[in-house]
Structure 1
């Protein structure tokens, strides 16, 4: 779908979530045939003509001015992330969808990852592909996967695909729904920034075919970056623990981020992570050719 197509979808979704009373409009009693605000009501609030707004929503008009976009964002009560997403979608940058180059991790990033020894960490690309991880990051979040997989572009784990299609990852997050909604909201932002990315479009298409839950969350059009949040995990080896995941953008590789996992100091979760740390061999490199996935608890206890 073109960038303008995404713009129309986003406007309709944000309009549908508002009721007239939410924006101070008085409407006559009775059944409303439209969920949320009508086009004419939103156009009135934004100070634009109904015909112009309709063209925007139906993808027949692009190149909206900054003033119009600001007025629509205010009328729709968009937050800062949604405002930025609206500008991305409305930006007049028509491109031909193409296959982007393979993402690579440079030496500076690998050095940073090595410096985080003892802290679970992974490098994530623009499509949420895992480009690299340290041994503890692998053991905590994907111990059932070949640890060398990120080194092979065709086999790289993808965080969104894993969360929706891999039963081990689904079982890892106690509140799977909250984690999934947050990751889909982040993917929406990425799709708005890179509408010409064929691989990103393919990922969305694959998940839309294979997972109805993804379809519902994607259709919500929520947008928010994955900056930091806490989650309770049920780890197959060490059991329950609560972690905080923080995503830090890399200035020298702006399309990539490093995800660092921490636990609150002097807690049971910190003890549990320390137990996992002891189970991971210190000399087990994340890209060793003979490294093996961590076995599940029953195999390890055998």
Structure 2
């Protein structure tokens, strides 16, 4: 599922996704494969073709910042993708990422108290995008998930997901990008490997998107949801990293003040308080 050549896989995918026109090269007609040729990328980045080939093949694992920045320029990477490229290169210097322990999926009590005090829907996501805790408003908002606790698994494997997410295709693409980023930085995480394997085996849409190797780590995005009680909602989904707990994120759903979604979202808010959920057990016993 995930090789030891994450850096090479990433730049190879970006090369395939970059057209000659994007970098100012003349149109020479149809090509056997999409994107740029290796020699074109090498020339544009100011490195030898042999050196660039070794980067893609994983035989050169420690490119300098100068080389990485040149590739960022050639491929036109945005800030999130550029940061991801540098992280992949640094991971090669650090060595393998340690396996996570089951205890790292526990949510601190002070965080549960924090989101419990909010009327804004809020959840704590684990490293594999499991909902580890949710406040009452979020439990009501995400009720179409039923007993499912994993966000990507709900999107790709639950029949209810396509009716709940009005922009399902974009939502699916975003979750694949998030998963791809997580796996690239933690290739030894068995739980992530199991999740990707499960989604690949059961969803052709996931498999197609996974092979595109898209990295778009968005901290916020617009979500259009069709809730069975509140109707259509247009919300801003925002995530925040939680310092001191690697891989954990705080995610919130907010309605634009004065919008039609604001009173509908407020009516969903529940006084029941936080619902703490155990981590998804994808790791073999």
Question: Which residue of the partner structure matches residue 145 of structure 1?
Answer: 146
TM-score computed with the length of structure 1 as normaliser:
0.83
User: In the TM superposition, what is the alpha-carbon distance from 1:135 to its structure 2 partner?
Assistant: 1.7
The correspondence for 2:223, drawn from 231, 234, 243, is 231
Matched, 1:10 2:10: yes
Is the 2:174–2:216 Cα contact (8 Å) retained in structure 1? yes
Rg (Cα) greater in structure = 1
The correspondence for 2:213, drawn from 199, 221, 241, is 221
Q: Distance in 1 between matches of 2:208 and 2:149?
A: 23
Alignment of 1:251-262 (within 5 A): 251-262=243-254
The correspondence for 1:286, drawn from 266, 269, 275, is 275
Please list every run of 5 or more consecutive structure 1 residues that lacks an aligned counterpart in the other structure.
Answer: 147-155, 289-302
Distance change >3 Å, CA 87–CA 273, structure 1 → 2: same
Question: Which residue of the partner structure matches residue 100 of structure 1?
Answer: 101
Alignment of 1:72-151 (within 5 A): 72-91=71-90, 92=92, 93-95=94-96, 98=99, 100-102=101-103, 103-116=105-118, 118-143=119-144, 145-146=146-147
User: In the TM superposition, what is the alpha-carbon distance from 1:63 to its structure 2 partner?
Assistant: 1.5
User: In the TM superposition, what is the alpha-carbon distance from 1:43 to its structure 2 partner?
Assistant: 0.6
User: In the TM superposition, what is the alpha-carbon distance from 1:38 to its structure 2 partner?
Assistant: 0.5
Q: Select between 95-104 and 75-84 the one with higher mean Cα deviation.
A: 95-104
Question: Which residue of the partner structure matches residue 53 of structure 1?
Answer: 52
Alignment of 1:148-297 (within 5 A): 157-277=149-269, 280=270, 282-283=271-272, 286-287=275-276
Q: Distance in 2 between matches of 1:31 and 1:162?
A: 39
Q: Distance in 2 between matches of 1:268 and 1:21?
A: 43
Q: Distance in 2 between matches of 1:68 and 1:14?
A: 15
Q: Which has the higher contact order (CA 8 A, sep 6+)?
A: 2
Is the 1:189–1:225 Cα contact (8 Å) retained in structure 2? yes
SS in 2 for 1:262: strand
TM-score computed with the length of structure 2 as normaliser:
0.87
Please list every run of 5 or more consecutive structure 2 residues that lacks an aligned counterpart in the other structure.
Answer: 278-285
For this pair of structures, how many residues does the alignment match?
274
Q: What CA deviation, in whole Å up to 9, does each residue of 1:170-222 have, x standing for no partner?
A: 32111111111122222222222212211112111111111111112222222
Aligned alpha-carbon RMSD (Å): 2.3
